[in-house]
Structure formats: structure tokens, C-alpha cells
Amino acid sequence: MRYYNSLLILLLATFSFSCQEEEVPKLDPASNNAANSWILNVMDEVYLWLDDLGTPIAENSDPEDYFEALLFRPTDRFSVIYPDYQELINALNGVNLEAGYEFILYRENPTSDNVVAEVSYIKKNSPASNVDLQRGDVINKINGTVLTIGNYQQLLGEIDGMHTLSYSRFDEESEGFVAKPDVTLTAVQLAENPNFLDTIYTVNGEKIGYVVYHFFAPGPGENSTAYDNEMDGIFGKFKAEGIDHLIVDFRYNSGGYVSSAVNLASLIAPGVSSSSIFSKTKYNSYLMEELEQLRNVQTSFLAKNQNLGNTMEGNRVYILTTSRTASASELIINGLKPYMDVAIVGDTTTGKNVGSIPFEDEENDQNNYGILPIVSQSFNSLDQSDYTEGFVPNITLKESQERLRPLGDINELLLRTAIGQITGITSGARFQQLDRLDVGSSLEGKIRSGVMIENPILK
């Protein structure tokens, strides 16, 4: 992938030079020994917490166990290994085997072991978009079996093939849930477009741009910038329409490519140019000592014609968040703070100020593993990086406090709160408050969850 190849080539060249200095015994390329030897070679060069690298276990161990033994837990919450490198790369670009719906899992009630899955959103052009399933629907059975605390993880493993959902929908008139006919869905290789929704509202004379962005990826495949280009078009429209305020919805955005974060930030930040610093990146002491190119890595904003500039009232942008807002989303919050007021509405974010690079074993085609180790820490232009506990909102809200309304509905909890802050007029509507125990999410199973993929640093 072009987004990290330059650094990868540099690091691999370093590995090759190191390996030439000592005799390396030949291993069966299909063996765990070969995979684990490769894992150790990579981690021993690039791992951010190199001084705290774990003690290797037996070289013939399962590679996933071997990789885990090397990690500096619990400080390192994010390094991961995958059995298939190409699947990893596809997923980072939003291509997954799925039916096209995401959900949050809750206990049905505080005294029950039953679990329900509330649909968060339906993806465009997916199998789920072709049936009567929508945000806010509550799934209680998969393939005829009720979800419980004891079985829900097993049942969720069945949705990557053909499966049947039993679900209910809240009826406003009866103020209760009504069962809907079962739907049967088949998972497909789906390329999700992260640009989910954009619109402009005029409320109390204020013109407000709103964009929902689900993850950071330039495009659906190698060398594609289709998604970035689409985002440019959205901001071009905002600028042409003369919006006074901007709301960016990151509630389900758990990260992705830094290059797309730079692209989006460059559309928002006022008074920036290609010489303005968006972020700084630091690697482990070994890499910064050995490689001069890694000693002062700075990423600049891009010069974008669609940049909103100084048009936003109060030099402020509103960001909508949940506890699953992470990584590249947090990078944008941190990177924008030196240039403008970033008002956060929602829940405290995940707290991920570190970045990864995907590695594959290019010299052994029988080793399919891909690893995504933490290799860097990110700072803004003021050298600030202290958000490992997450960004605390200006206004704290949990999306689960109310029944879900459609994304983009001005009565939806997070959006209406941000609009109220802009206009000074709060909604007079009364909404039922809920007290629900969140037990997980389909988003957490995504490979891109909590991932920040670094930019190239060499040309």
C-alpha cells in the first residue's frame, strides 16, 4: 500500500542489513519457527516499547501466542496479529465479509442474562440495505436462537455467512416494541464507503454543515483516493453554501489511515498551509538513533481549495464522539486544537495516541501472517500527546441514553445537543431516558477498530 511503503522499505532494508551481519539458520518456511523468527526480527527493530519487549517463548509456539508474549501489556493495548495479511489490508480499507449492518449489544434488562443487538447503522448498497432493517431496530435472535450473555459471541460468529435475524422495532404510537418479520441475509465482500452522510441545516438563521464519517481510508483499494476525493467534494459544497458552523460525527469512527486524517483536517483548520504542522511522530530510540530520517518526522497540512478557512463562527468545530471514537479521530482532535476551538459532544474517547504499520513476510510466501505492531507516538504542533485516557467532552452524553433516531435527524440526541449549543435554542421535545448496560459492539470486531496507520515519511 502506498500509505506506508516508504517507511516499510526503509525498515526492511535495515532488517536486511542487520541479518547479513550474522548467520541465520534455515528454517522450514511453513513452520511456526519461521513465522516466529520473522515476528521477532520485526518487533526487535520497530516496536515502540523496544526496551520493554517481552521475553520470547518457545520458537515453535503458535505465532499468535508468540507475538502476544512480546507485547508490553497493559501499556500496549493495541498491537495485534492476523492470520492473513491480505485480509488485514482489505479490512483497513473497509472491505469485509459482512451483510452490512453494525450494532451495539446491551443486556435486555438489568436482571436478565438475555442480550439484544441494537442496530447502529445500515451500510449503503449492502444486503442489509435491501431488507426492512433500520437504525434502532433491536435484534434478539440469530438463526432462531435468543442471544444471551453465555452464547452471544458464538452467535455473532454466524453472521459472516447466510443467517436469519429476528427483531423488533419501537412503535411511537403504542410506545412499545413490535415484532417484525424475520429477515435472512447473506454476507458478501462489502466495500464500505466511510462517507456515510452529509447535509446542511438552517436553524434559527444559522447555517450548519454536518458530516458523518465512519473510518479513515483514502479509497476502497490500492492507490485509490475515491473516498478522500468525495470528502473534498462535501467540503466544497459546504464552502459554496457558506456554512457558519461545522459538526463532524466521529461516534463510530475508531481510526484508519493517517493520510485521510490529514486530508480531513486540512479541510477544516483555519489559516493553514502546506508549511503548517498537523502532527509530529516519534519512534523508538533505536530507530531514531540509527535512521536520521526518523529523528524529526513532521506531517504538514495539505493546501486544499475546499478548506473552510476562517468562515466558522467562533473559530470552532463540533465533534460528536462515543467511547469507541479512537485513534485517527483523536489525532484530528489533537491536531486541530492548536488552531481552533474543538468542542466535543458525547462520551470520553478511547485514548489512543500511538500508530501502527502493517507488516508482511515478503521473503516467505508460506507465512501468511500479518502483524500490526505499535511503532510510533503522535503529537500535535505544540508537542501535546497526553490523551491516553481519552478526550473528555465539553458536554458529556451517552448515545445509549435514548432510543436511537436516524443519523441526521435533528432530534437525535448528540446532533440536537450540538445544534442547541450553536443556536442557543434547546429542543422542547421530551424523550424517554434509558439506563442500559453496554456489553459490546460489532465495531470492536473490525480489524480497523482502534487503528492508526502511519503515513510514509520518505519520498
The superfamily in CATH containing domain 193-355+376-431 is: 2-enoyl-CoA Hydratase; Chain A, domain 1 (3.90.226.10)
Question: What are the cell numbers at 307?
Answer: 478548506
Q: Do 260 and 228 form a contact (C-beta atoms < 8 A)?
A: yes
Residue ranges per structural domain of the chain: 5-92, 95-190, 193-355+376-431
Question: What are the cell numbers at 258?
Answer: 493517517
**Protein fold of 95-190:** Pdz3 Domain (2.30.42)
CA nearest 101: which of 168, 180, 187?
Answer: 187
Please, which residues have CB within 8 angstroms of residue 269's CB and are 6 or more apart in sequence? 276, 278, 301, 307, 335, 336, 339, 340
Task: Print pLDDT tens along the chain (459 aa).
Answer: 333 444 555 555 554 444 444 555 678 999 999 999 999 999 999 999 999 999 999 999 999 999 999 999 999 999 999 999 998 888 888 888 999 999 999 999 888 899 999 999 999 999 999 999 999 999 999 999 999 999 999 999 999 999 999 999 999 889 899 999 999 999 999 999 999 999 999 999 999 999 999 999 999 987 899 999 999 999 999 999 999 999 999 999 999 899 999 999 999 999 999 999 999 999 999 999 999 999 999 999 999 999 998 899 999 999 999 999 999 999 999 999 999 999 999 999 999 999 999 999 999 999 999 999 999 999 999 999 999 999 999 999 999 999 999 999 999 999 999 999 999 988 766 788 888 888 988 887 665 555 555 644 332
What is the C-alpha to C-alpha distance for residues 242 and 207, in angstroms, rounded to an integer? Answer: 8
Please, which residues have CB within 8 angstroms of residue 361's CB and are 6 or more apart in sequence? 35, 38, 367, 369
Q: Do 255 and 352 form a contact (C-beta atoms < 8 A)?
A: yes
Q: What is the DSSP letter of 129?
A: G
